[in-house]
Structure 1
């Protein structure tokens, strides 16, 4: 399962880099989803020179949740590390080739692959495919 994959990332820096890359591809140009941290949480985790995705990754790794707004329905959903791992597991079960591109983290995953992780993490299914 994806938890096994995730645990193979040897240290927090590798995990943060994986999540930052995933967030960058997941939300860039995404038509249905917007993500944010509340202002206090953002201030706690932001460091000079960080991109937004690095701040999100650091916060998620420390147990915080992003708020994901479904722009199609106007609903807000929490997104935690556990949710992301569940999304990866569901992607692996439903589309192993997409999952492989995401976990390779070599630049071969595209926005559709990473958006599928997000949808599985938020909704438990791929609805905006």
Structure 2
């Protein structure tokens, strides 16, 4: 973590795993001697790496779902929304056994320089209060 902060202080920006930048110099956090502002920039830089990368990965999965499952839209699959690192879909009951494994596969792919695949756990149900783990 300290190495990451050193890199961000030198570059005056933080990057996600896929290279998106968040510039920190415009906030005047670095270089003015104020420890409080420097600490805030360090937290922002570290948060950007984690949360920004998570958002990128989630958006890439959403795009892949549309590219590779587009023929299923809108009859059998509809994107409902995104909450943090979750993608929400309406899936026709008759298609759950074929579409959910594909979506899970897309979400499990390692991205950028990741070696370990992402762990995913799909849930299904007729309503938010009745979700249960998908047993594929």
Same fold (TM over 0.5): no
TM class by shorter chain equals 0.3 to 0.5
Q: TM-score, normalised by structure 1?
A: 0.32
Q: Specify which structure has the bigger relative contact order, considering alpha-carbon pairs within 8 angstroms and separated by 6 or more residues.
A: 1
Is the helix fraction higher in 1 or 2?
1
Which is strand-richer, 1 or 2? 2
The structure with more radius of gyration: 2
